[in-house]
Amino acid sequence: MKAIKVGLLGIGTVGSGTFNVLRRNSQEIRGRAGRGIEITMVSRRNVALAKQIVGEGVTVTADPFDIIRNPEIDIVVETIGGCDLARTLVLEAIAAGKHVVTANKALVAVHGTEIFAAAREKGVMVAFEAAVAGGIPIIKALREGLTANRIEWIAGIINGTTNFILSEMRSKGLDFATVLKEAQRLGYAESDPTFDVEGVDAAHKLTIMSAIAFGVPVQFDKAHVEGISQLQAADIKYAEQLGYRIKLLGLTRRREKGIELRVHPTLVPITRLIANVEGAMNAVVVQGDAVGTTLYYGKGAGAEPTASAIIADLVDITRLHTADPDHRVPHLAFQPDAISDTAILPMEDVLSSYYLRLRVADEAGVLSSITTILAESDISIDAVLQRESADGERQTDLIILTHETSEGGMNKALARMQGLPTVLAPIVRLRKEELA
């Protein structure tokens, strides 16, 4: 059978990884797919550079629309990134009857609803395994392996750059800017690394997982997003003393009133496997009612791990492209008419435990004025750590861990505590999850 023909839009880190792995493992991939899969056309603005990567026998063009217009191309792989051009290219590829594979989580999290509808209309597939946790087959697991389950929650370290930064800062004492540069050099970071650092990239990925897990549309605009740029070394140290590690976690949980969708630095007990995921590695914990807890671990970024996911999608499409579209796995696991309008909860309604650090005057009655506010707010305390103040120092750090309460209730209590004359600096508030 003739090889299936693939056009690659953008050939940077992920595109060149895909090209190389597909060439290197072509025999095995052919054996699995039932026919060869060949990249016959690539697009990059710098044509000379692209030619250096692909060598002879592959058509290189500066204009990605040349690929869309080429009737010989069966599948388009989008590894350009960004939302504007990528959206246009993907929609035009679909309109031209081509299947699409994308690594672009921003595109899927923001424009997924429109793209999936267009693909259904045209009877083509849009596959995006590489968009979430790179090489970890988490989309496959959620969409196929766990279909029996009512999924309760998902918690994930789903941004390699920030996990690398947090690990290197903690273990080697390196500063933020140095580690970020290294993550960029290694090809982990987004072209705009603020997407990594401020939690946006993790929120894109979480939005996609949440939609698949709970059968709701992708709704990135409803996600609560906080990154690690405000995280202070003192809190990493105090957390360790209390038996916790701070990770940038994406969390989505089914509650009675709706779905939580949030990314923020989170204290996780050191005893949990996920707390020990270091460097650029990713890990996703999925809690299902039947299966219990499952954990997926691996490389979430980098050229070849991401290529592994893209090629898995290419193989799936090659196997399935002649199947009746109604027999394919739905984009969001649930059939389109089973997608629900369950609300994404506003952050005020989210339930969490908390870590609070208060810089307080070291004098009698301070602790009791704070615990009184917490008690009046119905917030129960789990642990308190008070740093010994150094000789002559008239202030100290007070660390409080709370049991679960609502974010709205915590905000009100924090406003009252912040108003106390003995609280000398802005209170640090982090969330804490036991993940049990």
Ligand X SMILES: N[C@@H](CC=O)C(=O)O
Ligand Y SMILES: NC(=O)C1=CN([C@@H]2O[C@H](COP(=O)(O)OP(=O)(O)OC[C@H]3O[C@@H](n4cnc5c(N)ncnc54)[C@H](O)[C@@H]3O)[C@@H](O)[C@H]2O)C=CC1
Residues annotated catalytic, as ranges: 205
In the list ligand Y, Na ion, ligand X, none, the entry touching 64 (Cβ below 5 to 8 angstroms by class) is ligand Y
Regarding 7 and contact with ligand Y (CB under 6 A), the answer is no
Nearer to ligand Y, 31 or 55 (CB): 55
Nearer to Na ion, 77 or 309 (CB): 309
3-state secondary structure of 173: coil
Distance CA 139, CA 422 (A): 50
The secondary element (H helix, E strand) that includes residue 5 is: strand 4-9
Nearer to ligand Y, 208 or 211 (CB): 208
With beta carbons less than 8 A apart as the criterion, state whether 248 and 159 touch. yes
In the list ligand Y, Na ion, ligand X, none, the entry touching 81 (Cβ below 5 to 8 angstroms by class) is ligand Y
In the list Na ion, ligand Y, ligand X, none, the entry touching 159 (Cβ below 5 to 8 angstroms by class) is ligand X
Least distance CB 273 / ligand X (angstroms): 19
Among 8, 41, 68, 81, binds ligand Y (CB under 6 A): 81
Distance CA 7, CA 219 (A): 29
Least distance CB 406 / ligand X (angstroms): 31
Distance CA 333, CA 276 (A): 30
Site string for ligand Y, 147-176 (x = CB under 6 A): ------------------------------
Among 4, 77, 133, 281, binds Na ion (CB under 5 A): 133
Question: Residue 260 corresponds to which tokens in the numbers above?
Answer: 């939580």
Rounded to 10 degrees, what is the CA torsion of 122, 97, 301, 251?
Answer: -10
Which window, 34-42, 158-166, 217-225, 234-242, contacts ligand X (CB under 6 A)?
Answer: 158-166
Which window, 188-196, 261-269, 356-364, 409-417, contacts ligand X (CB under 6 A)?
Answer: 188-196
Short-list 429, 259, 428, CA closest to 346: 259
Regarding 168 and contact with ligand X (CB under 6 A), the answer is no
Regarding 277 and contact with ligand X (CB under 6 A), the answer is no
With beta carbons less than 8 A apart as the criterion, state whether 276 and 261 touch. no
Which window, 97-105, 215-223, 333-341, 428-436, contacts ligand Y (CB under 6 A)?
Answer: 97-105
In the list ligand X, ligand Y, Na ion, none, the entry touching 156 (Cβ below 5 to 8 angstroms by class) is none
Beta strands across the sheet bearing 59-61: 59-61, 37-43, 4-9, 75-78, 99-102, 126-127
Least distance CB 363 / ligand Y (angstroms): 51
What are the residues whose beta carbons fall under 8 Å from the beta carbon of 163, sequence distance 6 or more? 157, 247, 248, 277, 278, 279, 280, 281, 282
